[in-house]
Protein backbone atom coordinates (compact mmCIF):
# COMPACT_ATOMS: atom_id res chain seq x y z
CA UNK A 1 0.00 0.00 0.00
CA UNK A 2 2.78 2.36 0.86
CA UNK A 3 4.39 1.87 -2.51
CA UNK A 4 1.14 2.79 -4.22
CA UNK A 5 0.54 5.90 -2.13
CA UNK A 6 2.73 8.33 -4.10
CA UNK A 7 0.93 7.45 -7.34
CA UNK A 8 -2.46 7.83 -5.66
CA UNK A 9 -1.65 11.16 -4.05
CA UNK A 10 -0.11 12.52 -7.26
CA UNK A 11 -3.21 11.74 -9.34
CA UNK A 12 -5.23 14.78 -8.13
CA UNK A 13 -2.25 17.01 -8.77
CA UNK A 14 -1.90 15.66 -12.29
CA UNK A 15 -5.58 16.15 -12.95
CA UNK A 16 -5.38 19.68 -11.57
CA UNK A 17 -2.35 20.43 -13.76
CA UNK A 18 -4.20 19.14 -16.83
CA UNK A 19 -7.23 21.24 -15.93
CA UNK A 20 -5.11 24.37 -15.56
CA UNK A 21 -4.00 23.95 -19.18
CA UNK A 22 -7.25 22.61 -20.67
CA UNK A 23 -9.62 25.31 -19.33
CA UNK A 24 -7.91 28.37 -20.92
CA UNK A 25 -6.90 26.44 -24.05
CA UNK A 26 -10.44 25.12 -24.53
CA UNK A 27 -11.99 28.56 -23.93
CA UNK A 28 -9.67 30.08 -26.53
CA UNK A 29 -10.28 27.28 -29.04
CA UNK A 30 -14.08 27.38 -28.86
CA UNK A 31 -14.71 31.11 -28.68
CA UNK A 32 -11.80 32.56 -30.66
CA UNK A 33 -9.95 30.07 -32.85
CA UNK A 34 -13.10 28.35 -34.15
CA UNK A 35 -14.86 31.62 -35.16
CA UNK A 36 -11.71 32.97 -36.85
CA UNK A 37 -11.13 29.69 -38.69
CA UNK A 38 -14.76 29.81 -39.83
CA UNK A 39 -14.15 33.22 -41.42
CA UNK A 40 -11.08 31.87 -43.22
CA UNK A 41 -12.88 28.74 -44.45
CA UNK A 42 -15.89 30.74 -45.64
CA UNK A 43 -13.65 33.31 -47.30
CA UNK A 44 -11.61 30.68 -49.15
CA UNK A 45 -14.66 28.79 -50.40
CA UNK A 46 -15.74 28.99 -54.03
CA UNK A 47 -18.16 31.90 -53.51
CA UNK A 48 -15.81 33.55 -51.04
CA UNK A 49 -12.86 33.41 -53.44
CA UNK A 50 -15.01 34.91 -56.18
CA UNK A 51 -16.07 37.79 -53.92
CA UNK A 52 -12.47 38.18 -52.74
CA UNK A 53 -11.22 38.40 -56.32
CA UNK A 54 -13.79 41.08 -57.13
CA UNK A 55 -12.71 43.40 -54.31
CA UNK A 56 -9.62 44.99 -55.97
CA UNK A 57 -11.74 45.94 -58.97
CA UNK A 58 -14.21 47.91 -56.88
CA UNK A 59 -13.43 51.61 -56.58
CA UNK A 60 -15.40 51.77 -53.34
CA UNK A 61 -13.26 49.04 -51.76
CA UNK A 62 -10.01 50.69 -52.86
CA UNK A 63 -11.20 53.97 -51.38
CA UNK A 64 -12.12 52.31 -48.08
CA UNK A 65 -8.82 50.41 -47.89
CA UNK A 66 -6.80 53.55 -48.65
CA UNK A 67 -8.66 55.60 -46.04
CA UNK A 68 -8.19 52.83 -43.46
CA UNK A 69 -4.44 52.89 -44.06
CA UNK A 70 -3.69 56.59 -44.26
CA UNK A 71 -5.91 57.67 -41.36
CA UNK A 72 -4.11 55.10 -39.15
CA UNK A 73 -0.71 56.45 -40.20
CA UNK A 74 -1.67 60.11 -39.67
CA UNK A 75 -3.36 59.33 -36.34
CA UNK A 76 -0.22 57.54 -35.15
CA UNK A 77 2.10 60.42 -36.09
CA UNK A 78 -0.18 63.01 -34.46
CA UNK A 79 -0.44 60.97 -31.26
CA UNK A 80 3.33 60.61 -30.95
CA UNK A 81 3.88 64.34 -31.47
CA UNK A 82 1.19 65.34 -28.97
CA UNK A 83 2.16 62.84 -26.25
CA UNK A 84 5.98 62.99 -26.26
CA UNK A 85 6.16 66.20 -24.15
CA UNK A 86 3.86 64.60 -21.58
CA UNK A 87 5.98 61.44 -21.56
CA UNK A 88 9.03 63.59 -20.79
CA UNK A 89 7.18 65.35 -17.98
CA UNK A 90 6.07 62.10 -16.30
CA UNK A 91 9.43 60.38 -16.81
CA UNK A 92 11.94 63.13 -16.06
CA UNK A 93 10.27 65.58 -13.68
CA UNK A 94 8.63 65.45 -10.27
CA UNK A 95 5.64 67.55 -9.33
CA UNK A 96 2.65 67.44 -7.04
CA UNK A 97 -0.27 65.44 -8.44
CA UNK A 98 1.87 63.27 -10.71
CA UNK A 99 0.03 60.03 -9.84
CA UNK A 100 -3.34 61.74 -10.37
CA UNK A 101 -2.26 63.03 -13.78
CA UNK A 102 -1.07 59.56 -14.79
CA UNK A 103 -4.43 58.06 -13.78
CA UNK A 104 -6.41 60.82 -15.51
CA UNK A 105 -4.55 60.33 -18.80
CA UNK A 106 -5.27 56.59 -18.65
CA UNK A 107 -9.06 57.05 -18.52
CA UNK A 108 -9.45 57.97 -22.25
CA UNK A 109 -7.70 54.74 -23.28
CA UNK A 110 -10.41 52.56 -21.74
CA UNK A 111 -13.39 54.82 -22.48
CA UNK A 112 -16.10 53.28 -24.68
CA UNK A 113 -15.49 54.20 -28.30
CA UNK A 114 -19.10 55.32 -28.69
CA UNK A 115 -18.65 57.69 -25.73
CA UNK A 116 -15.62 59.26 -27.41
CA UNK A 117 -17.55 59.55 -30.66
CA UNK A 118 -20.39 61.27 -28.79
CA UNK A 119 -17.93 63.61 -27.07
CA UNK A 120 -16.44 64.80 -30.36
CA UNK A 121 -19.90 65.15 -31.89
CA UNK A 122 -20.72 67.44 -28.96
CA UNK A 123 -17.52 69.43 -29.52
CA UNK A 124 -18.23 69.97 -33.21
CA UNK A 125 -21.85 70.90 -32.48
CA UNK A 126 -20.75 73.40 -29.84
CA UNK A 127 -18.26 74.95 -32.25
CA UNK A 128 -20.83 75.01 -35.06
CA UNK A 129 -18.76 72.71 -37.26
CA UNK A 130 -21.23 69.87 -37.68
CA UNK A 131 -22.75 71.06 -40.96
CA UNK A 132 -21.86 72.93 -44.12
CA UNK A 133 -19.81 72.32 -47.28
CA UNK A 134 -16.66 71.42 -45.31
CA UNK A 135 -18.43 68.75 -43.26
CA UNK A 136 -16.51 65.84 -44.85
CA UNK A 137 -13.14 67.45 -44.05
CA UNK A 138 -14.29 68.13 -40.49
CA UNK A 139 -15.42 64.52 -40.19
CA UNK A 140 -11.93 63.31 -41.04
CA UNK A 141 -10.45 65.78 -38.57
CA UNK A 142 -12.80 64.56 -35.86
CA UNK A 143 -11.76 60.93 -36.48
CA UNK A 144 -8.06 61.82 -36.29
CA UNK A 145 -8.50 63.87 -33.10
CA UNK A 146 -10.55 61.10 -31.49
CA UNK A 147 -7.76 58.61 -32.20
CA UNK A 148 -5.24 60.96 -30.62
CA UNK A 149 -7.55 61.29 -27.60
CA UNK A 150 -7.69 57.51 -27.25
CA UNK A 151 -4.01 56.70 -27.67
CA UNK A 152 -2.12 59.39 -25.78
CA UNK A 153 -1.97 57.02 -22.81
CA UNK A 154 -0.13 54.41 -24.91
CA UNK A 155 2.76 56.83 -25.47
CA UNK A 156 2.74 58.10 -21.89
CA UNK A 157 2.91 54.56 -20.52
CA UNK A 158 5.17 52.85 -23.05
CA UNK A 159 7.61 55.65 -23.92
CA UNK A 160 7.38 57.34 -20.50
CA UNK A 161 8.33 54.19 -18.60
CA UNK A 162 11.23 53.49 -20.96
CA UNK A 163 12.37 57.12 -20.82
CA UNK A 164 12.38 57.08 -17.03
CA UNK A 165 14.80 54.14 -17.06
CA UNK A 166 17.34 55.79 -19.36
CA UNK A 167 20.54 57.16 -17.88
CA UNK A 168 20.29 60.99 -18.13
CA UNK A 169 24.06 61.47 -17.92
CA UNK A 170 24.52 61.01 -21.68
CA UNK A 171 22.31 64.00 -22.43
CA UNK A 172 23.96 65.99 -19.66
CA UNK A 173 27.40 65.29 -21.12
CA UNK A 174 26.20 66.49 -24.51
CA UNK A 175 24.99 69.73 -22.88
CA UNK A 176 28.37 70.20 -21.17
CA UNK A 177 30.06 69.83 -24.57
CA UNK A 178 28.00 72.71 -25.93
CA UNK A 179 24.89 71.06 -27.37
CA UNK A 180 21.59 72.90 -27.09
CA UNK A 181 18.67 71.13 -25.36
CA UNK A 182 17.13 70.36 -28.78
CA UNK A 183 20.44 69.00 -30.12
CA UNK A 184 20.92 66.82 -27.04
CA UNK A 185 17.41 65.43 -27.45
CA UNK A 186 17.77 64.89 -31.20
CA UNK A 187 21.20 63.23 -31.22
CA UNK A 188 21.31 61.50 -27.82
CA UNK A 189 17.89 60.96 -26.24
CA UNK A 190 15.77 60.30 -29.32
CA UNK A 191 17.97 57.48 -30.69
CA UNK A 192 17.85 55.83 -27.27
CA UNK A 193 14.05 56.19 -27.22
CA UNK A 194 13.60 54.81 -30.72
CA UNK A 195 12.71 51.20 -29.68
CA UNK A 196 10.02 52.43 -27.28
CA UNK A 197 8.64 54.99 -29.76
CA UNK A 198 8.50 52.34 -32.49
CA UNK A 199 6.73 49.89 -30.15
CA UNK A 200 4.18 52.53 -29.11
CA UNK A 201 3.65 53.61 -32.73
CA UNK A 202 2.98 50.04 -33.83
CA UNK A 203 0.39 49.57 -31.07
CA UNK A 204 -1.32 52.87 -31.91
CA UNK A 205 -1.34 52.03 -35.62
CA UNK A 206 -3.02 48.69 -34.85
CA UNK A 207 -5.68 50.37 -32.69
CA UNK A 208 -6.38 53.04 -35.33
CA UNK A 209 -6.35 50.55 -38.20
CA UNK A 210 -8.98 48.45 -36.43
CA UNK A 211 -10.96 51.43 -35.11
CA UNK A 212 -14.68 50.75 -35.32
CA UNK A 213 -16.91 52.72 -32.96
CA UNK A 214 -15.20 56.07 -33.54
CA UNK A 215 -15.37 55.76 -37.34
CA UNK A 216 -18.95 54.47 -37.27
CA UNK A 217 -20.19 57.35 -35.09
CA UNK A 218 -18.13 60.20 -36.54
CA UNK A 219 -17.70 59.00 -40.12
CA UNK A 220 -21.29 58.04 -40.81
CA UNK A 221 -21.95 56.84 -44.36
CA UNK A 222 -19.41 59.27 -45.84
CA UNK A 223 -16.27 57.76 -44.32
CA UNK A 224 -15.74 54.02 -43.86
CA UNK A 225 -12.89 51.69 -42.90
CA UNK A 226 -12.53 47.96 -43.42
CA UNK A 227 -14.02 47.42 -39.96
CA UNK A 228 -17.17 49.42 -40.61
CA UNK A 229 -17.55 47.86 -44.07
CA UNK A 230 -17.69 44.38 -42.54
CA UNK A 231 -20.41 45.59 -40.15
CA UNK A 232 -22.43 47.30 -42.89
CA UNK A 233 -22.33 44.28 -45.19
CA UNK A 234 -23.20 41.81 -42.42
CA UNK A 235 -25.65 43.75 -40.23
CA UNK A 236 -27.13 46.52 -42.36
CA UNK A 237 -27.26 44.77 -45.76
CA UNK A 238 -27.31 41.10 -44.76
CA UNK A 239 -24.63 40.30 -47.37
CA UNK A 240 -22.55 37.77 -45.43
CA UNK A 241 -20.49 36.71 -48.47
CA UNK A 242 -19.18 40.24 -49.10
CA UNK A 243 -18.66 40.76 -45.37
CA UNK A 244 -16.58 37.58 -45.23
CA UNK A 245 -14.39 38.70 -48.13
CA UNK A 246 -13.70 42.10 -46.53
CA UNK A 247 -13.15 40.45 -43.12
CA UNK A 248 -10.54 38.12 -44.65
CA UNK A 249 -8.60 41.10 -46.03
CA UNK A 250 -8.89 42.83 -42.67
CA UNK A 251 -7.70 39.71 -40.83
CA UNK A 252 -4.64 39.36 -43.07
CA UNK A 253 -3.72 43.02 -42.50
CA UNK A 254 -4.18 42.69 -38.73
CA UNK A 255 -2.00 39.55 -38.58
CA UNK A 256 0.79 41.34 -40.46
CA UNK A 257 0.53 44.32 -38.12
CA UNK A 258 0.55 42.10 -35.01
CA UNK A 259 3.70 40.31 -36.21
CA UNK A 260 5.46 43.64 -36.73
CA UNK A 261 4.24 44.88 -33.34
CA UNK A 262 5.57 41.80 -31.53
CA UNK A 263 8.99 42.22 -33.13
CA UNK A 264 9.15 45.87 -32.08
CA UNK A 265 8.01 44.95 -28.56
CA UNK A 266 10.83 42.39 -28.29
CA UNK A 267 13.33 45.03 -29.41
CA UNK A 268 12.07 47.30 -26.65
CA UNK A 269 12.30 44.49 -24.09
CA UNK A 270 15.84 43.37 -24.91
CA UNK A 271 17.27 46.89 -25.08
CA UNK A 272 19.73 47.46 -22.27
CA UNK A 273 18.41 49.89 -19.66
CA UNK A 274 20.74 51.58 -17.18
CA UNK A 275 19.71 52.05 -13.58
CA UNK A 276 17.13 54.78 -13.05
CA UNK A 277 18.29 57.95 -11.35
CA UNK A 278 16.76 58.14 -7.87
CA UNK A 279 16.27 61.92 -7.68
CA UNK A 280 14.36 63.78 -10.36
CA UNK A 281 14.45 67.57 -10.79
CA UNK A 282 11.28 69.48 -10.04
CA UNK A 283 9.24 70.49 -13.08
CA UNK A 284 9.48 74.16 -13.99
CA UNK A 285 6.35 76.28 -14.10
CA UNK A 286 6.56 76.78 -17.86
CA UNK A 287 7.10 73.09 -18.64
CA UNK A 288 4.34 71.98 -16.29
CA UNK A 289 1.85 74.62 -17.44
CA UNK A 290 2.53 73.99 -21.12
CA UNK A 291 2.02 70.24 -20.80
CA UNK A 292 -1.08 70.58 -18.67
CA UNK A 293 -2.63 73.04 -21.14
CA UNK A 294 -1.89 70.74 -24.08
CA UNK A 295 -3.33 67.69 -22.32
CA UNK A 296 -6.31 69.71 -21.10
CA UNK A 297 -7.19 70.74 -24.65
CA UNK A 298 -6.62 67.33 -26.19
CA UNK A 299 -8.08 65.19 -23.40
CA UNK A 300 -10.14 67.55 -21.25
CA UNK A 301 -12.08 69.62 -23.79
CA UNK A 302 -14.16 66.73 -25.23
CA UNK A 303 -14.98 65.51 -21.72
CA UNK A 304 -15.96 69.00 -20.55
CA UNK A 305 -18.19 69.66 -23.59
CA UNK A 306 -19.82 66.24 -23.19
CA UNK A 307 -20.61 66.99 -19.55
CA UNK A 308 -21.86 70.49 -20.40
CA UNK A 309 -24.11 69.16 -23.18
CA UNK A 310 -25.62 66.53 -20.86
CA UNK A 311 -26.64 69.26 -18.39
CA UNK A 312 -27.90 71.79 -20.96
CA UNK A 313 -31.67 72.10 -21.25
CA UNK A 314 -33.12 71.23 -24.68
CA UNK A 315 -34.78 73.97 -26.69
CA UNK A 316 -34.21 77.66 -27.17
CA UNK A 317 -34.47 78.53 -23.48
CA UNK A 318 -31.19 76.87 -22.53
CA UNK A 319 -30.28 76.74 -18.88
CA UNK A 320 -29.09 73.87 -16.72
CA UNK A 321 -31.02 70.74 -15.86
CA UNK A 322 -30.69 67.08 -14.90
CA UNK A 323 -33.72 66.11 -16.98
CA UNK A 324 -31.57 64.19 -19.46
CA UNK A 325 -30.30 61.96 -16.66
CA UNK A 326 -33.83 61.41 -15.34
CA UNK A 327 -34.95 60.48 -18.86
CA UNK A 328 -32.54 57.53 -18.88
CA UNK A 329 -35.22 55.55 -17.00
CA UNK A 330 -37.86 56.31 -19.66
CA UNK A 331 -38.59 53.96 -22.53
CA UNK A 332 -38.27 55.42 -26.03
CA UNK A 333 -39.54 53.78 -29.22
CA UNK A 334 -36.01 53.71 -30.56
CA UNK A 335 -34.88 51.15 -27.94
CA UNK A 336 -36.38 47.80 -26.87
CA UNK A 337 -35.71 48.83 -23.26
CA UNK A 338 -34.78 52.01 -21.43
CA UNK A 339 -31.24 53.35 -21.45
CA UNK A 340 -31.09 52.59 -17.73
CA UNK A 341 -32.08 48.97 -18.47
CA UNK A 342 -29.29 48.78 -21.07
CA UNK A 343 -26.87 50.13 -18.48
CA UNK A 344 -28.00 47.41 -16.08
CA UNK A 345 -27.30 44.80 -18.76
CA UNK A 346 -23.82 46.26 -19.26
CA UNK A 347 -23.04 46.09 -15.54
CA UNK A 348 -24.25 42.49 -15.33
CA UNK A 349 -22.26 41.48 -18.41
CA UNK A 350 -19.19 43.31 -17.08
CA UNK A 351 -19.36 41.38 -13.81
CA UNK A 352 -19.69 38.03 -15.59
CA UNK A 353 -16.98 38.93 -18.12
CA UNK A 354 -14.62 39.99 -15.33
CA UNK A 355 -15.21 36.69 -13.54
CA UNK A 356 -14.54 34.66 -16.69
CA UNK A 357 -11.48 36.72 -17.62
CA UNK A 358 -10.06 36.42 -14.09
CA UNK A 359 -10.52 32.64 -13.94
CA UNK A 360 -9.27 31.87 -17.45
CA UNK A 361 -6.54 34.53 -17.41
CA UNK A 362 -5.37 33.49 -13.94
CA UNK A 363 -5.07 29.82 -14.94
CA UNK A 364 -3.28 30.74 -18.15
CA UNK A 365 -0.87 32.94 -16.16
CA UNK A 366 0.02 29.98 -13.93
CA UNK A 367 0.86 27.92 -17.01
CA UNK A 368 2.95 30.72 -18.51
CA UNK A 369 4.95 31.25 -15.29
CA UNK A 370 5.20 27.74 -13.85
CA UNK A 371 4.39 25.42 -16.77
CA UNK A 372 6.63 23.69 -19.26
CA UNK A 373 8.21 26.02 -21.76
CA UNK A 374 6.41 24.63 -24.82
CA UNK A 375 2.99 24.97 -23.17
CA UNK A 376 3.87 28.34 -21.67
CA UNK A 377 4.94 29.99 -24.93
CA UNK A 378 2.07 28.58 -26.96
CA UNK A 379 -0.58 29.55 -24.44
CA UNK A 380 0.93 32.98 -23.85
CA UNK A 381 0.83 33.79 -27.57
CA UNK A 382 -2.61 32.28 -28.04
CA UNK A 383 -4.27 34.17 -25.18
CA UNK A 384 -2.87 37.46 -26.49
CA UNK A 385 -4.33 36.99 -29.98
CA UNK A 386 -7.79 38.43 -29.12
CA UNK A 387 -6.07 41.68 -28.13
CA UNK A 388 -4.51 41.98 -31.59
CA UNK A 389 -7.51 40.77 -33.56
CA UNK A 390 -10.26 43.30 -34.10
CA UNK A 391 -13.51 43.13 -32.16
CA UNK A 392 -15.38 43.18 -35.47
CA UNK A 393 -13.55 40.03 -36.60
CA UNK A 394 -14.42 38.40 -33.29
CA UNK A 395 -18.10 39.35 -33.43
CA UNK A 396 -18.51 38.43 -37.09
CA UNK A 397 -16.77 35.10 -36.52
CA UNK A 398 -19.17 34.29 -33.68
CA UNK A 399 -22.09 35.27 -35.91
CA UNK A 400 -20.94 32.76 -38.54
CA UNK A 401 -19.68 29.92 -36.35
CA UNK A 402 -21.84 29.67 -33.26
CA UNK A 403 -25.19 29.03 -34.94
CA UNK A 404 -25.38 25.23 -35.16
CA UNK A 405 -25.59 22.46 -32.52
CA UNK A 406 -23.75 21.67 -30.33
CA UNK A 407 -22.50 25.27 -30.35
CA UNK A 408 -25.73 27.08 -31.16
CA UNK A 409 -25.05 29.99 -28.81
CA UNK A 410 -26.20 33.01 -30.82
CA UNK A 411 -29.54 32.99 -29.02
CA UNK A 412 -27.88 32.91 -25.61
CA UNK A 413 -27.48 36.22 -23.80
CA UNK A 414 -24.33 34.89 -22.12
CA UNK A 415 -22.44 34.97 -25.41
CA UNK A 416 -22.06 38.73 -24.86
CA UNK A 417 -19.93 38.45 -21.66
CA UNK A 418 -17.96 35.60 -23.27
CA UNK A 419 -17.00 37.94 -26.13
CA UNK A 420 -16.12 40.65 -23.61
CA UNK A 421 -14.04 38.20 -21.53
CA UNK A 422 -11.94 37.29 -24.57
CA UNK A 423 -10.85 40.92 -24.84
CA UNK A 424 -10.30 41.20 -21.08
CA UNK A 425 -8.14 38.07 -20.64
CA UNK A 426 -4.99 39.63 -22.19
CA UNK A 427 -5.22 42.53 -19.70
CA UNK A 428 -5.46 40.07 -16.80
CA UNK A 429 -2.42 38.16 -18.04
CA UNK A 430 -0.40 41.32 -18.70
CA UNK A 431 -0.87 42.14 -15.02
CA UNK A 432 -0.61 38.72 -13.36
CA UNK A 433 2.31 37.22 -15.33
CA UNK A 434 4.84 40.04 -14.66
CA UNK A 435 3.74 40.12 -11.00
CA UNK A 436 4.33 36.40 -10.49
CA UNK A 437 7.66 36.59 -12.29
CA UNK A 438 8.77 39.46 -10.05
CA UNK A 439 8.48 37.39 -6.86
CA UNK A 440 11.95 36.95 -5.34
CA UNK A 441 12.96 33.31 -5.75
CA UNK A 442 14.79 33.50 -2.41
CA UNK A 443 11.45 33.91 -0.63
CA UNK A 444 10.21 30.67 -2.15
CA UNK A 445 13.45 28.90 -1.23
CA UNK A 446 13.31 30.18 2.35
CA UNK A 447 9.72 28.96 2.74
CA UNK A 448 10.66 25.55 1.33
CA UNK A 449 13.64 25.34 3.69
CA UNK A 450 11.29 25.94 6.63
CA UNK A 451 9.24 22.94 5.56
CA UNK A 452 6.51 24.44 3.38
CA UNK A 453 5.22 22.25 0.55
CA UNK A 454 5.25 23.62 -3.02
CA UNK A 455 1.49 24.20 -2.82
CA UNK A 456 1.84 26.12 0.44
CA UNK A 457 4.72 28.17 -0.98
CA UNK A 458 2.52 29.28 -3.87
CA UNK A 459 -0.37 29.95 -1.48
CA UNK A 460 1.60 31.91 1.13
CA UNK A 461 4.23 33.65 -1.03
CA UNK A 462 2.71 34.03 -4.49
CA UNK A 463 -0.92 34.14 -3.36
CA UNK A 464 -1.18 37.66 -1.88
CA UNK A 465 0.56 39.29 -4.85
CA UNK A 466 -1.42 37.20 -7.32
CA UNK A 467 -4.72 38.21 -5.70
CA UNK A 468 -3.88 41.92 -5.97
CA UNK A 469 -2.84 41.45 -9.61
CA UNK A 470 -6.05 39.54 -10.33
CA UNK A 471 -8.07 42.38 -8.78
CA UNK A 472 -6.33 44.89 -11.07
CA UNK A 473 -6.92 42.63 -14.08
CA UNK A 474 -10.59 42.22 -13.12
CA UNK A 475 -10.98 46.01 -12.97
CA UNK A 476 -9.49 46.25 -16.46
CA UNK A 477 -11.93 43.60 -17.65
CA UNK A 478 -14.85 45.56 -16.21
CA UNK A 479 -13.71 48.74 -17.97
CA UNK A 480 -13.22 46.90 -21.28
CA UNK A 481 -16.61 45.16 -21.01
CA UNK A 482 -18.48 48.38 -20.21
CA UNK A 483 -17.19 49.97 -23.40
CA UNK A 484 -17.15 46.98 -25.77
CA UNK A 485 -19.10 47.79 -28.91
CA UNK A 486 -17.58 46.06 -31.94
CA UNK A 487 -18.23 42.40 -31.15
CA UNK A 488 -21.55 43.06 -29.39
CA UNK A 489 -22.95 44.93 -32.41
CA UNK A 490 -22.97 41.67 -34.43
CA UNK A 491 -24.98 39.65 -31.91
CA UNK A 492 -28.82 39.43 -32.11
CA UNK A 493 -30.55 42.57 -30.85
CA UNK A 494 -32.80 41.28 -28.09
CA UNK A 495 -33.87 43.52 -25.17
CA UNK A 496 -31.94 41.40 -22.65
CA UNK A 497 -28.75 41.81 -24.72
CA UNK A 498 -28.90 45.54 -25.38
CA UNK A 499 -25.84 47.11 -23.76
CA UNK A 500 -25.27 50.76 -22.92
CA UNK A 501 -22.85 51.38 -25.84
CA UNK A 502 -25.40 49.93 -28.30
CA UNK A 503 -28.15 52.09 -26.79
CA UNK A 504 -25.89 55.14 -26.99
CA UNK A 505 -25.12 54.45 -30.66
CA UNK A 506 -28.81 54.29 -31.51
CA UNK A 507 -29.56 57.49 -29.59
CA UNK A 508 -26.75 59.35 -31.35
CA UNK A 509 -28.09 58.27 -34.74
CA UNK A 510 -31.44 60.04 -34.33
CA UNK A 511 -31.79 63.85 -34.63
CA UNK A 512 -33.49 65.83 -31.89
CA UNK A 513 -32.26 67.76 -28.87
CA UNK A 514 -34.04 65.58 -26.31
CA UNK A 515 -32.62 62.27 -27.53
CA UNK A 516 -29.21 63.85 -28.11
CA UNK A 517 -29.19 65.16 -24.53
CA UNK A 518 -30.18 61.72 -23.25
CA UNK A 519 -27.33 60.21 -25.29
CA UNK A 520 -24.86 62.64 -23.74
CA UNK A 521 -26.13 61.83 -20.24
CA UNK A 522 -25.69 58.10 -20.87
CA UNK A 523 -22.19 58.78 -22.21
CA UNK A 524 -21.29 60.69 -19.02
CA UNK A 525 -22.52 57.81 -16.83
CA UNK A 526 -20.45 55.31 -18.81
CA UNK A 527 -17.44 57.61 -18.59
CA UNK A 528 -17.84 57.91 -14.80
CA UNK A 529 -18.04 54.12 -14.37
CA UNK A 530 -14.92 53.69 -16.49
CA UNK A 531 -13.08 56.31 -14.44
CA UNK A 532 -13.96 54.43 -11.24
CA UNK A 533 -12.49 51.24 -12.74
CA UNK A 534 -9.27 53.11 -13.63
CA UNK A 535 -9.00 54.49 -10.08
CA UNK A 536 -9.31 50.92 -8.76
CA UNK A 537 -6.55 49.85 -11.14
CA UNK A 538 -4.20 52.64 -10.10
CA UNK A 539 -5.00 52.11 -6.42
CA UNK A 540 -4.19 48.41 -6.69
CA UNK A 541 -0.85 49.18 -8.27
CA UNK A 542 0.07 51.92 -5.84
CA UNK A 543 -0.36 49.51 -2.93
CA UNK A 544 2.75 47.80 -4.25
CA UNK A 545 3.82 44.56 -5.82
CA UNK A 546 1.61 44.64 -8.92
CA UNK A 547 3.54 44.80 -12.19
CA UNK A 548 2.55 45.02 -15.84
CA UNK A 549 2.56 47.35 -18.83
CA UNK A 550 -0.89 48.67 -17.82
d(CA 175, CA 446): 48
Does the pLDDT value for residue 1 go beyond 80? no
Could you tell me the pLDDT band of residue 262, with boundaries at 50, 70 and 90?
Answer: low
Confidence of residue 148 (pLDDT cuts 50, 70, 90): very high
Q: By CB neighbour count within 10 A (0-12 exposed, 13-18 middle, 19+ buried), where does 345 fall?
A: buried
Q: How far apart are CA 183 and CA 172, in angstroms?
A: 11
Please check the confidence at residue 331 and state whether its pLDDT lies above 50: yes
Reduced to 3 states, what is the DSSP secondary structure of residue 320? strand
Identical topology for domains 18-57+324-550 and 59-277+285-312: yes
> What is the mean pLDDT of the segment spanning 500-506?
89
Residues 192 and 166: beta-carbon distance below 8 Å:
yes
Q: Which residue has the higher pLDDT, 88 or 278?
A: 88
Tens of pLDDT, residues 61-98: 889 989 999 999 999 999 999 999 988 888 888 888 88
CATH number corresponding to 59-277+285-312: 1.10.3720.10
pLDDT surpasses 60 at 382: yes
Please give the distance of CA 175 from its chain centroid, rounded to a whole number. 40
- Averaged pLDDT, 433-447: 74
Confidence grade of residue 149 (pLDDT, cut at 50, 70, 90): very high
Please tell me the least confidently modeled range out of 114-118, 206-210, 531-535: 531-535
pLDDT at 81: 92
Return the higher-pLDDT residue of 521 and 183: 521
pLDDT(10) > 80:
no
Report whether pLDDT(147) > 90. yes
Q: What percent of the chain has pLDDT over 90?
A: 11
Q: How confident is the model at residue 356 (pLDDT cuts 50, 70, 90)?
A: very high
DSSP readout, 120-170? HHHHHHHTT-SSSTTHHHHHHHHHHHHHHHHHHHHHHHHHHHHHHTS-THH
- What value does the mean pLDDT take over residues 363-374? 82
Supply the pLDDT for residue 136. 54
- Categorize the per-residue pLDDT at 517 as very low, low, confident or very high, splitting at 50, 70 and 90: confident
pTM of the predicted model as reported, rounded to 2 decimal places: 0.82
Range name among 332-336, 461-465, 473-477, 497-501 with the lowest pLDDT average: 461-465
pLDDT of residue 8: 42
Query: What pLDDT, on a 0 to 100 scale, did the predictor assign at position 549?
Result: 54
Averaged pLDDT for residues 140-145: 89
User: 392: buried, middle or exposed (CB in 10 Å: 19+, 13-18, 0-12)?
Assistant: buried
Instruction: Label residue 27 by pLDDT band (50, 70, 90).
Output: very high
Task: Output the CA–CA distances (angstroms, integers) from residue 414 to 273, 345, 355, 362, 490, in the order listed.
Answer: 45, 11, 13, 21, 14
End-to-end CA distance of the chain: 52
Least confident range of 87-91, 163-167, 489-493, 526-530: 489-493
On the question of pLDDT at 131 being above 70, the answer is no
- The per-residue pLDDT for 421 is 92
pLDDT for the residue 236: 77
- Identify the band that residue 438 occupies on the pLDDT scale cut at 50, 70 and 90: confident
pLDDT at 359 over 70: yes
* Residue, of 437 and 302, whose pLDDT is higher: 302
| CATH topology assigned to domain 18-57+324-550 | MetI-like fold (1.10.3720)
Inform me whether the pLDDT recorded for 55 exceeds 90: no
CA 102 to CA 501: how far, in whole Å? 26
- At residue 9, the pLDDT reads 46
Domain boundaries, the chain: 18-57+324-550, 59-277+285-312
Q: Running DSSP on this structure, what letter comes out for residue 276?
A: P
Averaged pLDDT of the chain: 80
**At a CB cut-off of 8 Å and minimum separation 6, what does 540 contact?**
468, 469, 471, 472, 475, 546
- Reported as a single tens digit per residue, the pLDDT across 308-328 is 888 888 665 667 888 889 989
Amino acid sequence: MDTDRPAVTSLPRRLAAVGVVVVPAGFLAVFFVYPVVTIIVEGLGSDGLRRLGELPGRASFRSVAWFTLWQAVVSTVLTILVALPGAHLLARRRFRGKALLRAATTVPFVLPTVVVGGAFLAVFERLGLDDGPMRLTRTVGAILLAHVFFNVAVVLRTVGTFWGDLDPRSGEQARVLGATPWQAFRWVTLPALRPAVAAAASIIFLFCFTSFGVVLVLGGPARATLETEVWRHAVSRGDLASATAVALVQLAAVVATVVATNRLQRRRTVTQRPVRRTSLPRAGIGLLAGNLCLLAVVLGLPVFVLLERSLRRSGAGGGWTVDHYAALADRVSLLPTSALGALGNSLLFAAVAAGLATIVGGLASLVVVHGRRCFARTLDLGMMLPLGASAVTLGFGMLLALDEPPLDLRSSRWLVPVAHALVGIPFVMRTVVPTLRSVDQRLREAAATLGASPARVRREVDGPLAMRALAVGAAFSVAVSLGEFGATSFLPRNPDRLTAPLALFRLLGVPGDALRGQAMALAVVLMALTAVAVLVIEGGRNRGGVKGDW
